[in-house]
Chains A and B, each alone.
Chain A
Amino acid sequence: MKKLLKVLAWLVFILVILFLIVYFLAPKILEKTFKKAENYPHIEAHDKMISGTPPLVDVSKYKLLHFVDSNNEPVAIAIAVSGGGYRASFYTMGVLSGLENMNNGVAGYNLLNKVKYISSVSGGGFAIGYYLSKYSDYLHNNIKSGLSKKKPFSFGSVVESDIFTSDGLNANLQKEFGNLSKKGKFKYQLVLKDTFLRRSGGLPSLSVGDIFISKTSSRKAELPIWIANSSIFQNFAIFPFTPNILKRYKIDGYFVGDQYIELDNVNNLPMSFAVAASSSTPVIFPSMTLTSSSACAQECYLQLFDGAWTDNLGVINALSALMKDKAKTKVLILIDAFNQKNYAYSKNKKSPNFLSVAANGSEATSNFWHTQVSQFMSGPFKTYLCSNSKNVFLSAMRLNDNKKYVSKIGTNLHLDSIKRQKFLLSLGENDAKNNKELKDLVQFLVGKNKKLGLCSKK
Chain B
Amino acid sequence: MFLRFSRLISILIISFLLISCGAVKQGVQNKLEKLNKYPGVYAKQNYIASSPPYILINKYKLLHFVDSNNKSVAIAVAISGGGYRASHFALGVMSGLEYFKIKNTHDNLLNRVNYFSSVSGGGFAVGFYLSQYSKYLSDSKNINKEFSLSNAINSDIKSNNSLNMDLQSKFANFKNIDKTNFPLLLQQGILSRGDKLPPLNLGDIFIPKSSKTDVTLPLWVANSSVFQNSSIFSFAPNVLSEYQIDGYYWHNKYQKLKNANNLPMAFAVAASASYPFVFPSMTLASSTACNEECYLQLFDGGLTDNLGIFTALNVLNQDNSDTKILIIIDSAQVKDQVYSKDKKGPGWVRLLWNSLNASPDHMHIEVQSFMKKGFKEFLCAKASNVFLSYISLKDYDKVSIVPTNLHLDLDQQQYLLRAGKYLSKNSKEIIEMTKFLNGSYSGDNDLGSCKTK
Contact = CB atoms under 8 A, between A and B. Distances in A.
The answer to whether A binds B is yes
Contacts of B366: 238, 310-311, 316
Interface in A26-58: 26-28, 30-31, 33-35, 37-38, 40-45, 48, 50-54, 56
A301 interface: yes
A335 B37 CA distance: 30
Contact of B340 (A34, A50, A302, A367): A302
Contact of B368 (A52, A235, A351, A400): A52
B41 interface: yes
A300 B343 CA distance: 8
Contacts of B359: 364-365, 368-369
B40 to A, nearest CB: 4
A144 B370 CA distance: 43
B228 A343 contact: yes
Contacts of B310: 372, 376
B158 interface: no
B343 A289 contact: yes
Contacts of B353: 37-38, 358
B337 A181 contact: no
Contacts of A380: 313, 374, 378
B286 interface: yes
Interface in B312-327: 313-314, 317
Nearest to B317: A379
Contact of A43 (B7, B286, B304, B337): B337
Contacts of B349: 33-34, 37
Given A45-B338, A284-B28, A33 B356 contact: no
B281 interface: yes
Contacts of B348: 282-283
Contacts of A346: 38-41, 227-228, 294-297
B41 A345 contact: yes
A384 B243 CA distance: 31
Nearest to B231: A371
Nearest to B337: A42
B229 A302 contact: no
Contacts of A37: 346-347, 349-350, 353
B227 A42 contact: no
Contact of A374 (B41, B50, B232, B347): B50
A352 B281 contact: yes
Contacts of B299: 357
Nearest to A255: B343
Contacts of A423: none
A355 interface: yes
B66 interface: no
A41 to B, nearest CB: 4
Interface stretch (A61-69, A193-201, A290-298): A290-298
A342 interface: yes
Please indicate which of the listed interface residues B2, B294, B305, B345 has the most CB atoms of chain A within 10 Å of its own CB. Answer: B345
Nearest to A295: B339
Contact of A30 (B14, B231, B374): B14
A303 B38 contact: no
A380 B50 CA distance: 19
Interface string A337-372: 000111111111101111111111111110111011
B431 interface: no
B230 A303 contact: no
Contacts of A364: 225, 230, 303-304, 355-356, 358-359
B340 A303 contact: yes
A287 B346 contact: yes
A458 B337 CA distance: 48
Given A42-B335, A51-B337, A364-B356, A301 B342 contact: yes
B305 A368 contact: yes
A11 to B, nearest CB: 22
A51 B342 contact: no
Interface residues of B, number: 109
A43 B340 contact: yes
Contacts of A359: 32-33, 35-36
Query: Which of A41, A291, A292 has the most chain B CB atoms closer than 10 A to its own CB?
Result: A41
Nearest to A302: B339
A362 B230 CA distance: 11
What interface size band does chain A fall in? Answer: 35 or more
Contact of A42 (B46, B289, B341): B341
B15 A354 contact: yes
A66 B224 CA distance: 45
A105 interface: no
B43 A344 contact: yes
Contacts of A292: 339
Contact of A236 (B7, B226, B314, B365): B365
Interface in B17-51: 17, 19, 23-25, 27-30, 32-33, 35-43, 46, 48-51
Interface in A254-290: 255, 281-284, 286-287, 289
B407 interface: no
A45 B337 contact: yes
B36 A351 contact: no
Contacts of A108: none
B52 interface: yes
Nearest to B282: A351
B378 A360 contact: no
A387 interface: yes
B50 A400 contact: yes
Given A27-B9, A309-B358, A346-B40, A352 B370 contact: no
A30 B362 contact: no
B295 A343 contact: no
A242 B154 CA distance: 52
A45 B341 CA distance: 11
B3 interface: yes
Contacts of A52: 334, 336, 365, 368, 394
Interface in B250-280: 276-277, 280
B339 A345 contact: no
A228 to B, nearest CB: 17
A32 to B, nearest CB: 10
Given A37-B349, A287-B346, A351-B283, A51 B46 contact: no
B271 to A, nearest CB: 11
Nearest to B20: A180
Contacts of B352: 282-283, 358, 361-362
Nearest to B365: A237
B280 A375 contact: no
Contacts of A236: 335, 357-358, 361-362, 365
23 contacts: A31-B10, A33-B13, A40-B340, A43-B339, A45-B339, A53-B369, A233-B340, A233-B346, A234-B335, A238-B366, A284-B27, A343-B229, A346-B295, A349-B285, A352-B281, A354-B12, A364-B225, A364-B303, A371-B52, A371-B229, A383-B378, A384-B377, A386-B381
List the 6 closest A-B pairs by CB distance, nearest first.
Answer: A27-B10, A42-B337, A287-B345, A343-B40, A367-B230, A359-B36
Given A38-B350, A41-B341, A52-B365, 18 more contacts: A26-B10, A31-B6, A233-B354, A235-B338, A235-B361, A249-B338, A282-B348, A316-B366, A340-B229, A341-B228, A344-B243, A346-B294, A346-B297, A351-B297, A355-B15, A361-B276, A365-B359, A383-B381
